[in-house]
Amino acid sequence: MPEEKKVRGKKQQKKKKNGPKKLEILDACRELGRACGKVEDFDDVRLYNKRAKDGYEEQLGRDSEKALDVTRSLIMANMYNGQQIKSVGKKIEKLRDLLKRMERALGEENVVTLETLNTLGTKLEQNGEYEEARKVYERCLAGMTEVLGEDHRVTLMTLNNLGGAYYHLKNYEKALEYFERALKAKERMFGENYPSTLGTVANLANIYSFGLKDYGKAEELYERALEGI
């Protein structure tokens, strides 16, 4: 019996010793998954994210921040088959379930939780559920502004998304308000000719053109977007 305890103790020490090194490998898998996503290699995205997810759950626990974050990436990767989006409604339910787990384990104001809330909003919008997406973005924006500040990259993305939701709802004044807030912050943070800044300029032009029918203002903004490219 003492010998058995000794062997077990050695195994535990070895696992503990290898823990940080194993996490570095898992973090590398996670980054590889992100890199594959940028080139839309979704098979490898799933491969690396699944490896990272299984490893994080073993090393840190199923409800650890890293395990939950990579689970979100895996859900998103599983939505794609080449360029085709599959079963958006079912994946929305998976995101809702994951969000509940995150809120319990990490808290409602955790950045990973808030990023997942933003992801849920984009999928709802993609599914034509614009009013529900608006509510999700409003909640996300309040949390992001509180935790990260209005000038943070993720907060600005949510501002932009909220403008888009209001645009789809044909509430052009509200859409204008959020896009203008996003534009001012992006100009301050990134400059007037940064690609993301110009994207928001184009969004504003669309509102003036298709929503408010102010074609003179729309033309001015379109020209600015084109000149900055």
Question: Percent of the chain, pLDDT > 90?
Answer: 73
Q: What is the model's pLDDT at position 221?
A: 95
Predicted local confidence at residue 83, as pLDDT: 43
- Read off the pLDDT of residues 79-133 as tens digits, 9 standing for 90 and up: 665 444 557 788 899 999 999 999 999 999 999 999 999 999 999 998 999 999 9
pLDDT of 42 above 80: yes
| Burial category of 177 from C-beta neighbours within 10 Å (exposed 0-12, middle 13-18, buried 19 and up) | middle
Question: Tokens standing for 42?
Answer: 């979704």
The H or E element that residue 131 is part of is helix 130-147
Confidence band of 14 (pLDDT split at 50, 70, 90): very low
> Contact at 8 Å (CB) between 100 and 71?
no
Determine the residue type at 70: V
Determine which of 18-27, 89-98, 177-186 has the lowest per-residue pLDDT on average: 18-27
Question: Does residue 19 have a pLDDT over 70?
Answer: no
User: In whole angstroms, what is the distance from residue 142 CA to residue 150 CA?
Assistant: 9
pLDDT of residue 97: 95
How many angstroms separate the CA atoms of 129 and 59, rounded? 38
pTM over 0.95: no
Q: How far apart are CA 77 and CA 35, in angstroms?
A: 12
Amino acid at 31: E
Encoded amino acid at 197, one letter = T
What is the chain's Cα-based Rg? 22
Amino acid at site 69: D
Q: Is the pLDDT of residue 10 over 60?
A: no
Side-chain half-sphere of 35: how many Cα atoms within 13 Å?
A: 7
List the structure tokens of 200.
């928001």
Cβ 214 vs Cβ 208: under 8 Å: yes
CA neighbor of 181 nearest in space, from 204, 213, 165, 208: 204
- What SS3 state is found at 104? helix
Q: How many residues does the chain have?
A: 229
Non-local CB neighbours of 182 within 8 Å, separated by 6+ positions: 156, 159, 160, 163, 200
Give me the chain's average pLDDT, please.
88
Across 63-211, where does the E strand assignment appear? 80-81, 84-85
